[in-house]
Structure 1
Amino acid sequence: MSNPTQIIDDFIVQTKTGLFCSYGNFYLDPKEPVVNAVISHAHGDHAIGGNQNVYCTEATSVFMQHRYKKFAAADFHIKSYHTKFTVNGVEISFYPAGHILGSALVLMSYKGVNYLYTGDYKLEEDATCEPIEFVNADVLITETTFANPETEHPDAVAEIKKLNDVKQNIMLGAYALGKSQRLIAMINQHCPEKRILVHHSIMPFVKIYEQLGMQLGKYEVYDRKVMKNNHSDMVYIVPPMVFNSYIKAINVVRIFATGWKHLQSKNEVQLYISDHVDWKAILETIKNVAPKQVWTTHGSGTQLQSYFAPNLVVKLLN
């Protein structure tokens, strides 16, 4: 007879469609439409439209319905944090992931073993989303976007205060969902002399944040005349596509908020504000979750594997 608390090596496997749990017949953040999708958060690389059953938080469902309209899902099964529910025999519950509003760690319990999938997550303070809640698990399935000992994200508050040293108008590139709302709140708090203009394509997400109870502070919808008639202390927040297409924009300082160094190289000011965990934060997460094994996804886990060998099993799912 097998040990009922034994970790199942193939409980979660990587497929072309995404991370699959055959024991519960569901996918975690699938890349193609499926029957049962457990979705950690609403970013497009984790939440696509067209799934039949989507299990997620309320905020995630609202963002998906805005983005995909009637193709968001056939049925949403909206779950609050800490509420247990079952998908084909696997017990699941969500915990805040600290990544964006509504983002969730996914705790899966099956035959006495707890598996915790992080989705994307961060540990830093962020007034625009629920702070991360650590939970113990036998297996931690962590994203490893920045799992490199040489990667250390600087303090986000110190980074945003760089904008105070720029008197010219700023074109600030940022992802429309999550990053833009965080930046609006941070600029209002730490750069009070700045006047914030927001690109029209970002506005629906800003309004959803406010409808869900997040106070971001002052901002205005972008008006070309306002930008033209004011030559200092304006911050125009635009999505990446607009930022990249306005490569020759004049009379503005171009800044892009990201943790990726290669996206900073051509900008006049580097603004390292990331919504992912760096190396130290991953180590801190492993310490708090106290898993028997770590499985890695969304990036390379080879350096974690080397760091913990032979004391902790680190398995690469991708």
Structure 2
Amino acid sequence: MILDDFITITPTGLYCIYGDFYLDPQQPVKEAVVSHAHGDHAIGGSEHVYCTAATESFMKHRYRKFAAVDFYIKAYHQSFKIKEVSITFYSAGHILGSAQVLMEYQGVKYLYTGDYKIEPDATCEPFEFVQADVLITESTFANPETKHPSPVKEIEKLNNTNSNIMLGAYALGKSQRIIQLLNHHCPSKNIMVHHSIMPFVKIYEDYGMELGRYKMYDRKVMKNNQQHQVYIVPPMVFHSYHKAINVVRAFASGWENLQQQNGISLYISDHADWDAILETIENVQPKQIWTLHGDGKQLKEYFKDRLEVKILN
């Protein structure tokens, strides 16, 4: 029997009362199961953190000695228990080390996707379809009108300008994906990376991800070369240099509002769009869908009278 209260939303985050643990808590807790290392899912200070090895590495870089009291590193497909709940990680395809969390209790399987994408990405482990009774899915882009274009076609837009480009991208995950895409599809571009992004790039390489060529940002190189330079910067830098001169601006994101007032739109998302969510549901074959991190109303309407959709947020 599916337990409606198996996962509940609390001020601290998603709580499993049957295992007495939190999924991606927003405050330090005793038992934290962390899907991936983005700051809105992984905070420092918890006592026991269960995650993949790459997620531990990213958290230790970001939070230093405050990352956690103890880490319990689990490989994909390696099952473990917290109290009476059996847990197994499966790749989520979002960023390096990202995991879906399959929880089994009293014969019922609950699958928490965390953030995920199902399209190919050479910089992280590919998404795995896992069957479950309840699919607890992110719904960031759960809108029939949202269909992400090909990331290759998007990155190839940069070949249409010779001007230098200031390219905004999240420091963890998106920047490394952009470096790899640029190397394969924009060979004439010289890639420079903001210093705050470099440690994450190095961790990717430590885990065997081949991103290609890049250099630390050099102001003189950018100043003395007015063409073919791509400078990858984190969002804070991108927005603080809103009036940067002699560069074309672009921001790699699936969000339309982040494309406004830029010289080039760059719709490259690391989240599942509408079609990908439907494909995931088809493969997971759940009896119920619970939605998080977005608006699940359109999924609820789409599956009306066919499949129960519960909106958790």
TM class, shorter-chain normalised?
A: over 0.9
Alignment deviations for residues 228-267 of structure 1 (CA, whole Å, 9 cap, x no partner): 1111010000000000001111000000000000111111
Q: Does 1:243 align with 2:243?
A: no
Structure 2 equivalent of residue 180 of structure 1? 175
1:131 pairs, out of 105, 126, 130, with 126
Q: What's the % identity of the aligned pairs? A: 70
AA paired with 1:10? D
Q: Does 1:78 align with 2:77?
A: no
Cα distance in 2 for residues equivalent to 1:27 and 1:310:
32
Structure 1 equivalent of residue 310 of structure 2? 315
Cα distance in 1 for residues equivalent to 2:190 and 2:82:
47
Structure 2 equivalent of residue 155 of structure 1? 150
Structure 1 equivalent of residue 187 of structure 2? 192
Moved over 2 A (4+): none
Aligned residues: 313
Structure 2 equivalent of residue 55 of structure 1? 50
Give matches, 1:158-237, under 5 Å.
158-237=153-232
AA paired with 1:182? R
Structure 2 equivalent of residue 8 of structure 1? 3
AA paired with 2:23? L
Cα distance in 2 for residues equivalent to 1:77 and 1:236:
37
SS at structure 2 position matched to 1:149: coil
Structure 1 equivalent of residue 298 of structure 2? 303
TM-score, normalization by structure 2: 1.00
AA paired with 2:92? A
Structure 2 equivalent of residue 116 of structure 1? 111
RMSD of Structure 2 on Structure 1 (CA): 0.4
AA paired with 1:282? I
AA paired with 2:288? Q
TM-score, normalization by structure 1: 0.98
Alignment deviations for residues 265-290 of structure 1 (CA, whole Å, 9 cap, x no partner): 11111000000000010000000000
Structure 1 equivalent of residue 250 of structure 2? 255
AA paired with 2:233? V
SS at structure 2 position matched to 1:215: coil
SS at structure 2 position matched to 1:294: strand
Cα distance in 2 for residues equivalent to 1:19 and 1:300:
17
SS at structure 2 position matched to 1:299: coil
Structure 1 equivalent of residue 141 of structure 2? 146
Cα deviation, residue 216, structure 1: 0.3
Cα distance in 1 for residues equivalent to 2:298 and 2:122:
32
Cα distance in 1 for residues equivalent to 2:82 and 2:221:
52
Cα distance in 2 for residues equivalent to 1:164 and 1:210:
26
Cα deviation, residue 25, structure 1: 0.2
| Stretches of structure 2 lacking an aligned partner (at least 5 in a row) | none
Structure 2 equivalent of residue 107 of structure 1? 102
Cα distance in 1 for residues equivalent to 2:190 and 2:125:
26
